[in-house]
């Protein structure tokens, strides 16, 4: 395992180099790194924090894709960009995150048009019980209206957050088996076609 700040192209290029040194090829790429902060109204947001959100959530996927693209072409590979339902919603206090994910969806569509031999798509993973949700519950009450903050707490209290392995199975299946004619699409992790593919895939093992 190697870690890197995906906002840095040089760091992403080193990850690609290490991957090639270890495995000799790149068949698929999943862009899953993401941050929610800043949680703030636009009028109160720190410009540097707002920019860094886009650098991780949007520029990060570009960096890794750009660094790996020639190798993905060799394998007619797949790129899965993990997006969010926030891409299609105007959610107060998380403007950078909403904007970055909306841009990521469109970047994916453009890349799919440019790279016709690759399967490139975005996926909505649902609302998942991760460190990001913990951060929202801890910090959201400082900036969000009471009702908005209470909603995120309710998701946890009522067991409405997905376990990480649930969308992870869908993302893994997409990285290995997503058909070319899905390229450019924004998919839900629980899309019936994906769920069926995961079920059949699991049955093999």
Is position 52 annotated as part of the catalytic site? no
Is 142 in the active site?
no
- CA 104 – CA 55 distance, rounded (Å): 11
Helix residue ranges, H only, the chain: 9-23, 47-54, 60-75, 95-114, 131-143, 146-157, 165-177, 192-204
Catalytic residue among 7, 101, 152, 183: 101
Length of the chain: 205
Q: Considering 45, 84, 97, 183, which one is annotated as catalytic? A: 97
Is 151 catalytic? The answer is no
Among the options 40, 83, 95, 183, which is catalytic?
83
Dist CA 38 CA 94 (whole Å)? 7
Rounded to whole angstroms, the Cα distance separating 130 from 168 reads 12
User: Which positions are annotated as active-site residues?
Assistant: 83, 97, 101
């Amino acid at each position: 395992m190697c870690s890197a700040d995906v906002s840095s192209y040089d760091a992403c290029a080193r990850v690609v180099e290490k991957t090639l040194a270890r495995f000799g090829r790149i068949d698929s790429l999943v862009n899953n790194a993401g941050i929610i902060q800043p949680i703030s109204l636009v009028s109160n947001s720190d410009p540097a924090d707002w920019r860094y959100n886009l650098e991780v959530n949007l520029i990060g996927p570009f960096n890794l894709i750009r660094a790996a693209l020639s190798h993905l072409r060799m394998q007619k590979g797949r790129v899965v960009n993990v997006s969010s339902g926030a891409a299609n919603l105007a959610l107060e206090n998380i403007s950078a995150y909403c904007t970055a994910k909306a841009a990521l969806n469109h970047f994916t569509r453009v890349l799919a048009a440019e790279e016709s031999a690759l399967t490139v798509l975005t996926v909505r993973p649902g609302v998942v019980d991760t460190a990001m949700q913990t951060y929202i519950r801890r910090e959201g009450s400082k900036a969000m209206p009471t009702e908005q903050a209470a909603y995120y707490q309710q998701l946890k209290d009522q067991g409405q957050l997905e376990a990480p392995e649930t969308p992870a199975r869908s993302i893994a299946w997409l990285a290995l088996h997503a058909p070319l004619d899905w390229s450019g699409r924004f998919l839900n992790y629980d899309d019936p076609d994906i769920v069926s593919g995961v079920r059949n895939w699991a049955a093999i093992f």
